[in-house]
Amino acid sequence: AQKVTQAQTEISVVEKEDVTLDCVYETRDTTYYLFWYKQPPSGELVFLIRRNSFDEQNEISGRYSWNFQKSTSSFNFTITASQVVDSAVYFCALSSNTGNQFYFGTGTSLTVIP
């Protein structure tokens, strides 16, 4: 069974603080992809990152970084020096080798307080 768990429902941080959004996944497939999307209040989902199961290198893109650890089935997302514009709902998703369906987590609502 494929499953994505985002245990943090809501997080609030003060601007400039760092924040980590957790994502834990379950899959029996050896080949799979993990994604993070941002959904601001406007509603549109913005693609942030895609990571395949064979690439455990961490990735950094500006203030965003991702920590992929197969040993713990986690794909956590860290925002450093958070800004008000980072306020959004963030979804982690899994796509397995058995099909091109996405399995979304329930999302984490991040509020950055000025």
Partner 1 sequence: GAVVSQHPSRVICKSGTSVKIECRSLDFQATTMFWYRQFPKQSLMLMATSNEGSKATYEQGVEKDKFLINHASLTLSTLTVTSAHPEDSSFYICSATRGHLQETQYFGPGTRLLVL
Interacting residues toward partner 1 by CB under 8 A: 31-33, 35, 37, 42-47, 50, 52, 91, 95-97, 99-102, 104-107, 109
Nearer to partner 1, 67 or 106 (CB): 106
CB of 32 to partner 1, least distance (A): 7
Nearer to partner 1, 46 or 81 (CB): 46
Nearer to partner 1, 2 or 80 (CB): 2
CB of 106 to partner 1, least distance (A): 5
3-state secondary structure the chain: CCEEECCCCEEEEECCCCEEECCEEECCCCCEEEEEEEECCCCCCEEEEEEECCCCCCEEECCEEEEEEHHHCEEEEEECCCCHHHCEEEEEEEEECCCCCEEECCCEEEEEEC
CB of 68 to partner 1, least distance (A): 15
